[in-house]
């Protein structure tokens, strides 16, 4: 074990118990890659409950596994080899049937939540959280406690009798990516109000620019509800010109590869990406939003905002305001995202006020106004991030 804390942790009891009972010492020769047993740990922890904590097991086994749908997927066949066979061969366990082990794999896939308290993040199952329905514009916010518990809080006002929802996928992905991810991991095609509206509530989050001369319109398909969007066409909302979904897909793939290969955390490279791709994508497009969100935090990160030029501070404030306005429409319950943006905005506003006075363009009243506005925003940040654990930067 890496330490006595790890060795004596109750959470490690299942895998430690099964490893001891196998009778042979575990031999690890390659320390550069995870040992194959690691991909079985979560499954073993669930199966352990059946043997020693039947009340917990009864709650786990009632969760959705989608085994019927999963049988047709490559992941299901892979789990047969890498999980079922490994558990039986390596741990010498024949207590559980193949069906039981694969059902647990499905339960973890469908109900697991990524917990960002460790590096890398780990997956946990929360029984009551599994009862919440999905929406790409959820009304509930999810955060975690330092001890690994989950906190679900209202992200927006919720009327009596209204369904409670969280987002099962990344809400900052475009509609096609979100829907395909949900189909591949949760086995349903999303038809929430956001997915049903190609404009994504008027944000044009997945839209591209029309390339017809002098046209200022955006291209989108008539609907993202088709299971295969590559068969359709995208239409301009101004001039009605249209193009093949295949061409759009190729364009987005090219820009996506460029984004994925970009060095992270370099201001000028982020700005160059925006300049190059703003002519192809809508201002709120998810690729541009990704980079703008990073930029809003990068400006002033190294030497502090006081070392940054006036234009950069103004640009930071503009970015934050732009992103906040869009996020409030698109993902109003994502408190962590809004909290980060508002924190960066408060810093920019107070710095702009300070510079106004020091340059002689404003007086004490201007500074006071800026500081009061900054303080007001900071109070919102505290409220939004109050459930974040200290292990995270937002805590």
Residue 11 inside a domain? The answer is yes
How many domains does one find in the chain?
3
Given 89, 109, 129, the domain boundary residue is: 109
Q: Residue 307: its pLDDT value, please?
A: 94
Residue 114 inside a domain? The answer is no
Place of tokens 């010109």: 241
CA nearest neighbour of 67 among 113, 99, 26: 99
Whether residues 208 and 302 fall in one domain: no
Cα dihedral angle (8, 13, 17, 18), rounded to 10 degrees? -140
Residue 310 inside a domain? The answer is yes
Residue 117 inside a domain? The answer is no
Residue 170 inside a domain? The answer is no
Q: Residue 229: its pLDDT value, please?
A: 57
Given 109, 127, 147, the domain boundary residue is: 109
Check: CB of residue 235 under 8 Å from CB of residue 242.
yes
Token pair in block for residue 122: 């780990």
Whether residues 10 and 58 fall in one domain: yes
Whether residues 40 and 80 fall in one domain: yes
Whether residues 14 and 50 fall in one domain: yes
Whether residues 242 and 275 fall in one domain: no
Whether residues 371 and 270 fall in one domain: yes
Whether residues 284 and 217 fall in one domain: no
Q: Residue 80: its pLDDT value, please?
A: 94
Whether residues 307 and 218 fall in one domain: no
Q: Which residues, including other chains, have CB under 8 Å from residue 245's CB and lie 6 or more apart? A: 221, 229, 230, 231, 232, 233, 234
Given 218, 247, 276, the domain boundary residue is: 247
Residue 124 inside a domain? The answer is no
For 247, 255, 290, the CA distances from 250, given in Å and listed in that order, are: 5, 9, 19
Residue 193 inside a domain? The answer is yes
Q: Residue 10: its pLDDT value, please?
A: 79
* SS3 at position 325: helix
Q: Residue 360: its pLDDT value, please?
A: 85
Q: Residue 35: its pLDDT value, please?
A: 67
Check: CB of residue 153 under 8 Å from CB of residue 166.
no
pTM of the model: 0.91
Structural domain that includes position 97: 4-109
Whether residues 204 and 287 fall in one domain: no
Whether residues 14 and 96 fall in one domain: yes
Q: Residue 220: its pLDDT value, please?
A: 97
Whether residues 373 and 324 fall in one domain: yes
Whether residues 294 and 376 fall in one domain: yes
Residue 160 inside a domain? The answer is no
Q: What is the mean pLDDT of each run of 10 residues along the chain (395 residues)?
A: 69 82 73 73 94 95 96 92 92 92 96 92 94 98 95 97 98 97 95 97 98 96 76 91 94 98 95 98 99 98 93 98 98 98 97 90 87 96 96 86
């Amino acid at each position: 074990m890496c330490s006595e804390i790890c060795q004596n942790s109750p959470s490690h009891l299942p895998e430690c118990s099964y490893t001891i009972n196998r009778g042979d010492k575990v031999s690890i020769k390659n320390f550069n890659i995870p040992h194959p047993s690691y991909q079985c740990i979560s499954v073993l922890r669930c199966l352990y409950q059946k043997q020693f904590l039947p009340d917990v097991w009864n709650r786990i086994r009632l969760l959705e596994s989608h085994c019927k749908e999963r049988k047709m997927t490559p992941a299901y066949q892979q789990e047969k080899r890498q999980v079922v066979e490994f558990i039986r061969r390596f741990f010498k366990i024949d207590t559980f049937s193949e069906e039981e082990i694969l059902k647990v794999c499905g339960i973890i896939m469908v109900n697991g939540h990524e917990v960002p308290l460790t590096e890398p993040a780990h997956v946990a199952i929360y029984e009551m959280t599994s009862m919440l329905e999905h929406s790409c514009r959820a009304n509930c916010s999810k955060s975690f406690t330092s001890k690994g518990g989950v906190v679900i809080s209202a992200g927006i006002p919720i009327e009596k009798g209204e369904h409670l929802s969280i987002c099962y996928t990344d809400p900052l992905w475009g509609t096609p990516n979100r829907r395909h991810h949900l189909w591949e991991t949760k086995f349903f095609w999303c038809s929430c109000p956001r997915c049903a509206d190609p404009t994504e509530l008027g944000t044009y989050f997945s839209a591209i620019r029309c390339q017809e001369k002098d046209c200022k319109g955006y291209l989108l398909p008539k609907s993202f509800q088709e299971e295969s969007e590559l068969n359709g066409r995208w239409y301009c909302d101004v001039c009605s010109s249209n193009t093949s979904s295949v061409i759009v897909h190729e364009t987005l793939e090219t820009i996506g590869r460029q984004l994925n290969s970009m060095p992270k955390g370099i201001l000028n490279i982020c700005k160059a990406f925006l300049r190059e791709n703003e002519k192809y994508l809508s201002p709120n497009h998810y690729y541009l939003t990704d980079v703008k969100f990073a930029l809003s935090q990068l400006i002033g990160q190294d030497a502090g905002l006081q070392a940054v030029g006036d234009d950069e501070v103004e640009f930071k404030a503009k970015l934050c305001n732009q992103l906040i306005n869009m996020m409030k429409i698109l993902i109003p319950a994502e408190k962590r995202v809004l909290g980060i943006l508002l924190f960066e905005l408060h810093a920019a506003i107070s710095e702009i006020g300070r510079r106004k006075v020091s340059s002689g363009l404003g007086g004490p009243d201007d500074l006071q106004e800026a500081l009061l506005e900054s303080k007001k925003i900071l109070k919102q940040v505290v409220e939004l991030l109050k459930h974040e654990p200290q292990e995270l930067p937002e805590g």
